Structure 1
């Protein structure tokens, strides 16, 4: 057992490897021991490839900034030759790849030791991780009756449980930020097209989806984003260029900013009292740092955006199933997919090509409406979720139709009314773990910035982390 493992973030762990005080093989042993001890209660780590990880160490790891750090990639996207994937679906179980994705190549170049994947819901749809292909739900280390969020819930649970210090995720409607909020972690969705999508896709969900990371520290996310940023060959569009990069940005305080405080949903609906308290507590921290915080709420058509998002993602789900069936040369069979995906296929059949393009146009219009709001404000401060982390089972994919799952009363958009706004607008956004409920559940606070202002947003996050640190808070877990 490595006693300090719980205390090291990825940057600190790599520094210990560089000093020679611990080896990559010893860190992998520790991570695997933690999988054996902690994963049975969580069901977060799957498809472990220990031999591939040991072979990578033996071959010599890249001289990157995170050399030797154990790492996990989400079981959705991040295609890699050495890491077969279920993609959260029985239909796609044990998918193999002929080449590595650009995002995985860049992650590997940091020197991390990837040894497995983390669970995701089928199709990446939903704020919980409960895919049938994994034999049961993924659970939250802070309270195993609660979800760790979704769709990067397995990564959130694995990092919160101190199995690894950081893990890969992706975010098409909050799928990094929701697990960050649920698991007491830092999560950032970069500006649209900041990270590569190829070669397996040109864009995800009409440009709303992007990769990201679940980390315990802001600096770990900064290092990973700097290592992975930039378009891959043939990308359909690029993000605005970075300045000095995320790591340089967090090395000094940002300028004093104008921060809009919204303690309701973006449509004016009340949120849970604990979430509202988290927003006001964060506002006091920001004011103490000299930022100007005042109440304000965007006038953008958020309900219209949600309806358009639902159409686009429904079509994306249907397309992924169609491609999988074409590769297998057969029709959809009972048990291939869960109820939400099956319903999404039927839902997508009622959406014409013109309807789809109209939905994309509404997403683009929403981005312009949000950009207009950010002419007067540097940051929008909200909660990450409208209520504390949901109980396991509430967002399961069984027994409900796709449209009701997303848009129905008490369902996804009522629970998570903030995150998807910034997938639609393409703006960078973060969830900071600044609040805990009376019964010990973490609550996230959400900050969003102008399109392209990733460095300014992560610098603000680091400034807040310095005065309101969270890394020492951890769930009660049995040691390996």
Structure 2
């Protein structure tokens, strides 16, 4: 490309970044808006612009920082690593063409980590908790090493509720993270900061994690794409090789399907000590081969509409899943009502044991590092309650929880012998108002809201199967409502291929909050 085109592209990016400052003072509204040149590109495109010399890593980083600061009212950024990222971006920007072409595929692309259960050496990970507000990591997580090896430039950590223990992103430490589509509503949780950052155009893709729906719920509430991978596909180490004894896994939230495929392609696979090893696939090839019209033969898709707890599903969520079923049928897939028979009560009782025990071990490690016990005023009220309960759990209860999860895994494996995928709502209700899922309220009130947040998503954390939220619907109030597709163990390629087909048939990338 000639220098005139290079200069024009740079001017557009820099003018767009400068204009973002106006957004900080503008009122939020649930209407669409035009994207800046920076926001129009996904990570795959940004990497190409850097590689071709059309933009430098330093220019892209400043666009990301400008967007983050302009979006400060959303409260999505927990920890800023701007100067560290600037040093790296400046070093990368001095490279010549030959060096650029030899670099990793995402060299210089701005990226953010979720502020939970991931370590970047020399920086703080707070887990959304006052008790960890100054906890500096002494090592890099294996996944961080893989992100850095891919060339990503980490410039921030995005907000999470304390220890990821609720389906919203609100904490005593950072306050509430607001939904870009309507700031009175929740982003979902616990990867709500990452989902808000992607929806608001701070980054095209961000790290996220999921222990009961924490990738899929925020992706649904914020109108972006999120896939929870199979247990064991993405490394969790080096200190622990499974999160919450297999419930929690890492991946990303993105605007484009191809960015999620690329990041998973670059991060998947075992690390030393891995024993749960789902198959790895060429995920980029899977989405390239995705049909753009009628699917030859089609997929067999089970439509699961009923709330596993029998408590009903909001009409908006039913409308979303039925429209998705109709779209799949038009694309040549076979969709029929069907659902696996699962021991739901026993499964969710076991999940409480596992998540509480996981939180207990996290707190105890910090207590050991500080040489003192945690105080009640250093934890969210409901987490303090869960911590006390966890101290009383027996080894038999933990073993029974894992056993019922394994039985659910077997049931779903057998179900997937007759179906390729399961289609369901992501949540049983639209994005809630802020405060409804807060960890600072009476337990009885919290439970009434919580059972609407994750009855569909948590099933697949307990079973270990992959599942994704696809942004195909917005309700009359302008709030996004995603739909969930779950697949067989190791079935990420199948899910991503369908997601790419849906993205082509019903594009969402240009639909943005004000």
Q: TM-score scaled to structure 2, two decimals?
A: 0.89
Cα deviation code 1:28-52 (max 9, x no counterpart)? 111111122112x111112111111
1:287-302 to structure 2, matched below 5 A, reads 287-302=329-344
Distance 2:185 2:470 in 1: 19
SS in 2 for 1:116: strand
Q: Post-superposition shift, 1:4?
A: 1.2
**CA–CA distance in structure 1, aligned partners of residues 399 and 186 of structure 2:** 34
In structure 1, the partner of 2:411 is: 369
- 1:316 matched residue in structure 2: 358
* Aligned-pair CA distance for 1:178: 0.6
Q: Deviations over 1:330-350 (max 9, x none)?
A: 122242111121101111123
CA distance in 1, matches of 2:155, 2:375: 32
Q: Is the 8 A contact 2:231 2:249 kept in 1?
A: yes
User: Any idea what the Cα deviations from partners look like across 1:195-246, whole Å, max 9, x if unmatched?
Assistant: 00111212111111110101001000000000000111122x2322223x11
State yes or no: 1:121 paired with 2:178: no
Matching residue of 1:48: 80
From the CA coordinates, give the structure whose radius of gyration is larger: 2
Distance 1:94 1:274 in 2: 42
Distance 2:192 2:455 in 1: 18
Hey, what does 1:74 align to over in structure 2?
Answer: 114
The aligned runs of 1:269-284 (5 Å cut-off) are 269-284=311-326
Counterpart in the other structure of 2:245: 206
Which residue number in structure 2 is paired with residue 163 of structure 1?
202
| Aligned partner of residue 452 in structure 2, secondary structure | helix
3-state SS of paired residue (1:475): coil
CA RMSD of aligned residues (A): 1.5
Please state if 1:9 is matched with 2:42. Answer: yes
* 1:388 CA displacement: 0.4
Partner of 2:488: 450
Alignment partners' CA distance in 2, 1:225 and 1:400:
39
Match of 2:4 in 1: none
1:145-160 equivalences under 5 Å are: 145-160=184-199
Separation of aligned partners in 2, 1:251 and 1:414: 36
Task: Give the deviation of 1:439 after TM superposition.
Answer: 1.1
Q: Is contact 2:217–2:453 with CA below 8 Å preserved after alignment?
A: no
Change in 2 beyond 3 A, CA 1:415/1:46: closer
Q: Give unmatched runs, 5+ long, in structure 2.
A: 1-14, 17-35, 94-101
- Determine the C-alpha separation between the residues in 2 that align with 1:428 and 1:309: 18
- Paired residues in the alignment total 468
2:463 match: 425
Provide the rounded CA distance (Å) in 2 between the counterparts of 1:97 and 1:48: 15
Note if 1:249 corresponds to 2:286.
yes
Distance in 2, matches of 1:330 and 1:448, equals 43
Distance 2:188 2:452 in 1: 15
- Residue 379 of structure 2 corresponds to 337
For 2:85 and 2:445, locate their aligned partners in 1 and report how far apart those are by CA, in whole Å: 38
TM-score by length of 1: 0.95
Matches within 5 A, 1:4-43: 4-39=37-72, 41-43=73-75
- 1:24–1:60 Cα change, 3 Å: closer
Query: Does the 8 A contact of 1:63 with 1:109 survive in 2?
Result: no
- Report what 2:234 is aligned to: 195
Q: Distance in 1 between matches of 2:347 and 2:412?
A: 11
Cα pair 1:340 1:405 within 8 Å, conserved: no
1:268: Cα distance to partner?
4.4
**Residues 267 and 371 of structure 1: CA distance in aligned 2, closer, same or farther (over 3 Å):** farther
5+ unaligned residues in a row in structure 1: which ranges?
none
Distance in 1 (alpha carbons) for counterparts of 2:92 and 2:507 = 35
Equivalent residue for 2:508? 470
Q: Distance in 1 between matches of 2:145 and 2:445?
A: 35
Deviates more, 1:439-448 or 1:59-68: 59-68
For residues 191 and 472 of structure 1, the distance between their equivalents in structure 2, rounded to whole angstroms, comes to 29
Structure 1 contact 223–246 (Cα < 8 Å) conserved:
yes
Correspondence list, 1:364-443, <5 A = 364-401=406-443, 404=444, 408=447, 410-443=448-481
Inter-CA distance 296–164: structure 2 relative to 1 (3 Å threshold): same
Shift of 1:60: 3.5
The alignment partner of 2:132 has SS state of coil
8 Å CA contact retained: 2:120, 2:144:
yes
Q: Distance in 2 between matches of 1:358 and 1:225?
A: 32
Secondary structure, in 3 states, of the residue corresponding to 2:484?
A: strand
Partner of 1:430, secondary structure, is strand
Paired residue for 1:143? 182
Offset, 1:183: 0.3
Q: Give the alignment partner of residue 186 of structure 1, picking from 205, 220, 225.
A: 225
Q: Deviations over 1:277-302 (max 9, x none)?
A: 10110011101111000011111112
Say whether the 8 Å CA contact 1:230–1:238 is kept in structure 2.
no
Residues 240, 415 of structure 1: alpha-carbon distance in 2 compared, 3 angstrom cutoff: closer
Q: Do 2:376 and 2:384's aligned partners in 1 also have CA atoms closer than 8 Å?
A: no
